[in-house]
Each structure stands twice: as C-alpha cells, then as structure tokens.
Amino acid sequence: MKINRKSRLAEKEMMTTSAVIFDLDGVLTDTAEFHFIAWQAIANKLNVTFDKEDNEKLKGVDRENSLKYILAKGHLAVGTTMFEQLLKEKNDQYLTLINEVNPSHLFDGVLNCFATLKKSNVKIGLASASKNASLVISKLGIEHLFDFIGDAASVANSKPAPDIFLSVAHGLNVLPKNCIGVEDAVAGVSAIKSANMFAVGIGDNQILTQADLVFPNMSEFDFKRVETAFLLSAT
C-alpha cells in the first residue's frame, strides 16, 4: 500500500491550534478550598467523614455527582426533595464564600498566557464543571477575555465525559482536534482526551498521567512549547 506523502503533508499543515480551552478551579484560580468547606458542612450534617483526600477526588466532578459520592461513602440514601435541598445548601454556602473572590485571586501567569494566545489569534474557551463559573470569572475580572464560556448545566454528562469540552469547541466554531484543553484534575484530563483534544495538565505529572504535557502551575505554562508538542503529536 502506497503512502500518499502529499496528503500526509497537507494534513499536517492543516493542523493548527485554533483554541485553548481552560478549566477554572485549580487552573485559573483556586476555589477548591471553598468547595471543601461547603461540602464538609454537608458531610458533617449527614455524619459522614469528609477530608482533603475526598475533596481531591471530587476535582472536576459536578455538584450532583459530588453529593452522590458523599452519600455513597456514608452508605446513605435520600429522597429527591432532600437531595435537591442538600445541593441548594451546599451551593448557598459556596456562593457566600466566593463573594470574597477578586482579581487578586487569579493565578500568576494566567494574564500573560491569555495575552500570548490573543496575540497568536488563538481563541480562548472555558470548560468548567461549576454552574457558578461565570460568576467566578466575572469576579476575577477576566470574563471579557473569553471567546466562549461553556454552560455546565446545558450538557448531558459531566467530566470525565467529553461533553463540556465538545460543547465549548462547538461554541468557538472550531474542530476538537485543533483544540488544546487545560485541566488540573484526572477527570478533566480524561474528558479532554475523550474529546480528541491535546491535554495539558496543571499540577503533578505523577497524578495527571493521561495528559500529553504537564506544567506544575500556570506561571510555567509555555504556549510555544505546548503548541510544538501538539503539532508533533499530530504527525
């Protein structure tokens, strides 16, 4: 079977970075502690032990499945009305806590990264599992920098399913294969890979083993290095 070199070359040349799609918590800012406090209050109410290790497992997991995790850990079952009430209590406490969020809570390196992407004509998207993502980025003062913000409430399946990343790619009018996703959670990285995107992890490379490239934090995020690795991965 002959390999069409011209076709392969053309395909390689067509591979470009159209967009970078970011998670929110743990990537652009850290409201994980707020989630922990709010979930721990719910767990205490249910007499279920909930610690930092549990909170780590819920990174990238939506509100409903986080509550299901706590209930399962306590071998508990509740009716629909109580389930919805617990979700509301958690969210109300979380909203109270994030009232303190302001632009100073933005991680170092984020604004420089966004400036580089804008200069490179690369679109910027947000794919957060949080239904409060728009509120948080508004408080961070970066809402205007996004070309599209995903709505977690509008997708059928939460991370590690690819739905939110595919939804954002669609909103940006770009092909998933031309997107780079940035996540700090195992579930989030799995979602990126399932969406057929290049995955960049922010955090520990011993944990984010499925990511194509990992940086310890956003301060060390190097778009030139990311794009080079992305284009090489397509060959």
Name the residues annotated as catalytic.
23, 25
Closest by CA to 185, choosing from 171, 199, 169, is 199
Close Cβ partners of 174 (under 8 Å, ≥ 6 residues apart): 18, 19, 123
Instruction: Work out the number of other CB atoms within 10 angstroms of the CB of residue 74.
Output: 14
Contact (Cβ atoms closer than 8 angstroms) between residue 183 and residue 192:
yes
Element (H, E) at 133: helix 133-140
Rounded to whole angstroms, the Cα distance separating 50 from 44 reads 8
| Residue 30, CA distances (Å) to 3, 93, 137, 212 in order | 48, 16, 12, 23
Residue 186 is classified by DSSP as H
Unique residue bearing structure tokens 């490239």: 213
Amino acid at 59: K
